[in-house]
Structure 1
Amino acid sequence: MSEAPPASVRKERQEQMVESIEIETGNHRRQAHVQTPDKDKAVELLEDVGHSIVLTPENNSRVLRKIDLRILPIILGIYFLQSLDKTTLAYASVFGLVEKTNLVGLQYSWLGSVVYLAQLVVQPLLAYLLVKVPLGKFLAISVFLWGAVLSCMTAAHNFTGLLLCRMFLGALEAGIAPAFIAVTQMWWRRREQPVRLGAWYAMNGITNMFGSLLSYGLGHINSPIFEPYQIIFLFFGLITVGFAATVLIFMPDSPMKANFLKAEDKLVAIERLRMNQQGIKSDVWKWSHAKESILDLKTWLWFAMMFSISIPSGGVSTFGPLIVKSFGFDEFKAILFNIPFGAVQLVATMGGAWLAMVLKVKGPVLTLLSLPPIAGCVMLLCIPHDASQRSALLVGYYLISVYPGITPLIYSWSAANTAGETKKKVTTGILIVIGPTLYTTAEAPLYSRGLRSNLALFIVLVVLYLINMSHLFSLNKSHERRRKRMGKTGKVVDRSMDAVRAVNEGKDDGTGQQGQVDENALKDLTDMENEDFVYVY
């Protein structure tokens, strides 16, 4: 290796932001670059290796299969446990939590809402942490801590104790969805993202099926020490703590640090994401990106969508079993009739994600998914709540259960249309802010205020989709005019939404588009800064 330059020279080169060093590997000598911290980590790996790799259908499929087999099971497991831990309150309410802890008035509603209020408080810190810290380690620590808090809820015997535990539970779980969106952007192409986002969010449906069955069984345990609801808290909390070790061992921090990928496969993983025009990983916080995120209309449209869907989501997830119980079922039948709710969630979530991938659009699919919940709310508001109408009431309830397919598509819509490491995290932090529920136990059995608010918000969502699609269309036209002014090709094809074969066929299509992609793809530019970025409707 060549002799180190004097300190003065090193300082000068650091100020110039790039230093070249010569690296000797075996009998091969190559030139590499010690990259500045503000560039994407993928660039550092490419410069260290000295070359990129050609993406083919074969190596793409091989690496995608490895990524799916390693990353997906971990995030599916985490989200299953998070969803399970959140819904333990609903299961516990059926098995005497409200009566045994002497909850009155709005206290049970506050136990559901405080989780989201805690998330609101910690989101700014989380946006910063997700840029600075390794994602794998962050997820492992989060899982361990929230599992410990859930276990501690066993010892809470009154509203104050339960409220504190739920508050910490919300704060510790708040980083999971933003981290998962970051993981999805880091590992999968934009074409692949809807199905992967849908897959982990579909764990809500799995939770409603298996969680209901587990709670049904746990509720039958006769213990001289614990009430049934305490057994539910302790059981799910300890499972979560144990799973944290799996996350710590097997979840990599980034494709560049993934031990399960060989050196060549890491290059393929980087090349797969080049067409996304979003970068892969940078640990530098950029205030200009944060400012752009805050001033970007898209950010607030997605925030409005998430707020509008989260109020019905929080209400139904917390009060769902109680709503079914209000149809005239006992606690055990209420739990069992909640199982089809989970099945509908699963079908709606994965079906919506698949349709978005096939059609290469998000807004129209979201509109389609919003129609059944509107019909379900109308049915529950209009049909009398008596024994003769149980079947119709259940149908209305199951129609509402299509709504979980909406949230991951909003996540995917935002993830696909936001670039720049800091901007991605800030935008995600803003849209993850969740609204409180509008259900109260005092409104049983009709819960009319909550249902009316849900109906109005599902209609608002459709309006927001239309506004956002129009805005994205306008932004694409603006980028097209900007490219023309710069002497580039105005019309470009968003190859991140095509099959890999289309990417390879487009290598030399005579438009110069591939050169444009290579020019800006890994520069940690925001979607507004990068004129080559193509927005997805």
Structure 2
Amino acid sequence: MDTASSEKTVDAGSGFPSLKIANASSASLDKAIVYLEEHAASQSDTTAVDHVLLVRKIDRHIVPIALAAYTLQFLDKLDLNYAAVMGLNVDLKLVGNDFNNAASWMYIANLIAEFPTGYIVQKVRPGKWLGCNVILWGVVTACTAAVTNYNGLVATRVMIGILEAATAPCLMLITGMWYTKSEAILRFAIWYCGLGIAQMLGSLISWGFQQVTHEALSGWRIMFLVLGCVTAAAGVWALISMPDSPMEVSWLTEAEKRVAIQRVAVNQTGIKNTHFKWRHLRELVLDPQIWLLTSLIIVTSLTSGVISFYSTTLIRNFGFSPARSALLNMPSGAVSLLSCLATAYLGHKYDNRALCMTVFCLLAAMGSGLMSFLPSSQRAGLLAGVYLVNMETVTLFLVFCLTTANVAGQTKRVAANALISGAFSVGNIIGPQLFKPKDAPQYIPAKIILLVTEIVTAMFAAALRIYYGWQNSKRDAAEKKERERGYMKEVANIEWLNLTDRENKTFRYKY
């Protein structure tokens, strides 16, 4: 439904859509505004709600589960990295490019699965869908302990790639439902800290299981078994406790639900609408911001692939033992975690996420430069390079944040979330293939490619900042001109009419 027809669904006297009229085009109404009218409450009910305490209550029910899910997702990616130095390659008789191919197959499956995921997430309850997928990928991770050859490893990685496809789109959608744009950056940062936590935990877990000797099971098999069980347990927690939307939870009073909905109206991105609109998809394909965001994710995820699959191998190739290599990879996690928190603080304080991306990508490029050009005798400098490269990981959570804040219209929004997640998979498919066996142990060509991509990522981030600023300035000028001419027409409750960011001329982009 276009903007002009949207005006017919609004009862200007009440300030809410008239359901009697809106039923003719109910697909255009967000479920939140329908809920508000059907559960009308007195003003005193909502004024008694403490907003600070309400946000804390929301945090308690969402942030820990999101952090656990994202930590386990990255831990599940990193476990293959650690297993490689624990004897997996030898036990499974992997040769040539087998390990790289197994790593890439997971992301190929993830990329393919993202397309139906975008549709499914709009239709189902995202919290329940997330929980089911986490349980199943935990089961498959545990089953990895039983694989005996390359084909079995590929089969389990493909299944994990399919099941993990739901994680980022669900978390992005849920975060956008509950938090304002200014609040969201900190929540994105907290659950994205799961990457750094996974790196540190993974290093300790790998070191610990390398100390385990068992006649029947090698250390890496026990590691997969334990991590799979922990992941499945976390999935049960998510299935039971992760909220699907403010309208459907039992732990908020009616007044608190109304306030929770009204708080996020300022986002103008809506909360829930299950009607699939092809027009939103057409707009998605033609939207320059989507392709800037997608390109940015593809180039930055090349570095993420290195962090996920080759950081421990690189450290081992500096001349350290497998066990010590695992421990020396722990600071990588600390750098990722601190970078996320620092970026969230700076991005919120100065309201400039794209600039933060640019700066941190350039710092990561310094790390790639150190890895590429320092002599092998300078092990401290080489380690510093590995650690600095982890600064680029903030790009992904900032793109999640910008996508959630700047893409409106429910179909366009969930499709954009899936596309961004798919773009991350593209980079991770390519990333492991850069490390060719013939380039071992230094892998200089791959390191130089990373240096170039990190510089390109910084350039894309700067271009995104310019684009958003230009769009906002153009809309401000158009609105000013319409007001001066007296043509400006207010549309009541425009934020709940399932309009895209391009259809809604009152929408302004965050950058």
Q: Normalising by the residue count of structure 1, what TM-score does the alignment of the two structures yield?
A: 0.86
Task: Please give the alpha-carbon distance, in whole angstroms, between the structure 2 residues aligned to 1:239 and 1:38.
Answer: 41
Deviation at 1:371, TM superposition (A): 1.6
What is the CA deviation profile of residues 339-385 of structure 1, one whole-angstrom value per residue up to 9, with x for unaligned ones? 11111110001111111111111111111111211111111111111
1:45 aligns with 2:12: no
Structure 1 segment 334-349 matched on structure 2, within 5 A: 334-349=325-340
Choose from 379, 403, 416 the match for 2:405. Answer: 416
Mapped to 2, the partners of 1:52 and 1:175 lie a distance apart of 39
User: Quick check: 1:238 aligned with 2:223?
Assistant: no
**1:38 touches 1:283 (CA, 8 Å); kept in 2?**
no
Q: Distance in 2 between matches of 1:173 and 1:125?
A: 13
Q: 1:485 Cα shift?
A: 5.4
Q: 1:132 to 1:151 in 2, by over 3 A?
A: same
Residue in structure 1 matched with residue 510 of structure 2 by the alignment: 536
Letter in 2 for 1:172: L
Asked if the contact 2:402/2:510 (under 8 Å) is kept, the reply is: yes
Residue 363 of structure 2 is matched in structure 1 by 372
Show CA shifts across 1:385-407 (max 9, x none): 13xx2111111111112121121
User: Match for 2:464 among 465, 468, 474?
Assistant: 468
Change (3 A) 1:325 1:131: same
Deviations 1:441-475 (A, max 9, x none): 44222111221111111111121122222221221
Question: Is it true that 1:523 corresponds to 2:500 in the alignment?
Answer: no
Please say if 1:181 is aligned against 2:172.
yes
Instruction: Determine whether 1:66 maps to 2:49.
Output: no
Pairwise mapping of residues 362-401 of structure 1 onto structure 2 (< 5 A)? 362-386=353-377, 389-401=378-390
Specify whether residues 233 and 130 from structure 1 end up closer, same or farther in structure 2 by C-alpha distance, changes over 3 A only.
Answer: same
Contact 1:418 1:424 in 2 (8 A): yes
Distance (whole Å) between structure 2 residues aligned to residue 77 and residue 518 of structure 1: 40
- Tell me the equivalent position of 2:163: 172
Aligned amino acid, residue 181 of structure 1:
M
Q: Distance in 2 between matches of 1:299 and 1:440?
A: 32
For residue 150 of structure 2, the aligned residue among 150, 155, 159 is 159
| Separation in structure 1 between the aligned mates of residue 218 and residue 355 of structure 2, nearest angstrom | 47
Task: Calculate the TM-score normalised by the size of structure 2.
Answer: 0.91
Note the aligned Cα RMSD (angstroms).
Answer: 2.3
Q: 1:518, CA displacement in angstroms?
A: 5.1
Change (3 A) 1:225 1:516: farther
Name which of 306, 323, 329 aligns with 2:314. 323
How far apart are residue 478 of structure 1 and its match? 3.0
TM-superposed CA distance for 1:43, in Å, is 0.7
The partner residue of 1:306 within 294, 297, 303 is: 297
5+ residue gaps in structure 1? 1-16, 21-30, 491-511
Matches within 5 A, 1:64-213: 64-213=55-204
Output the CA distance in 2 between the equivalents of 1:194 and 1:317: 24
Tell me, yes or no, if the aligned pair for 1:517 and 1:532 is still in contact at 8 Å: no
Identity across matched positions, percent: 33
**Structure 1 residue 50 displacement after superposition:** 2.5
The match for 1:407 among 392, 396, 407 is 396
Which residue does 1:273 correspond to in 2? 264
Unmatched segments (≥5 aa) in structure 2: 1-7, 12-17
How far 1:422 sits from its partner (Å)?
Answer: 0.6
Contact 1:53/1:271 (8 A) holds in 2? no
SS of residue matched to 2:54: helix
Post-superposition Cα deviations, 1:92-117, rounded to whole Å, max 9, x if no partner, equal 11100111111111111112111211
CA change 1:154–1:421 in 2 (3 A) is same
Contact 2:144 2:156 in 1 (8 A): yes
Amino acid at match of 1:426: A
Greater shift in the superposed pair: 349-358 or 461-470: 461-470
- Aligned-pair distance for 1:141? 0.7
Correspondence for 1:350: 341
Which stretch of the first structure deviates more once superposed, 293-302 or 466-475? 466-475
Whether the 8 Å contact between 2:127 and 2:170 is mirrored in structure 1 is no
Q: Tell me the alpha carbon deviations over residues 272-314 of structure 1, each in whole angstroms, 9 at most, x when there is no partner.
A: 1011111111111111111111110110100000000111111
CA separation in 2, counterparts of 1:357 and 1:518?
Answer: 29
Q: Quick check: which one's helix share is greater?
A: 2
Q: Which has the larger radius of gyration?
A: 1
Relative distance call for 1:196 and 1:19 in structure 2 (3 A) is closer
Which deviates more from structure 2 when the two are superposed, residues 233-242 or residues 46-55? 46-55
The residue type paired with residue 401 of structure 1 is N
CA-CA distance at 1:19 after TM superposition: 13
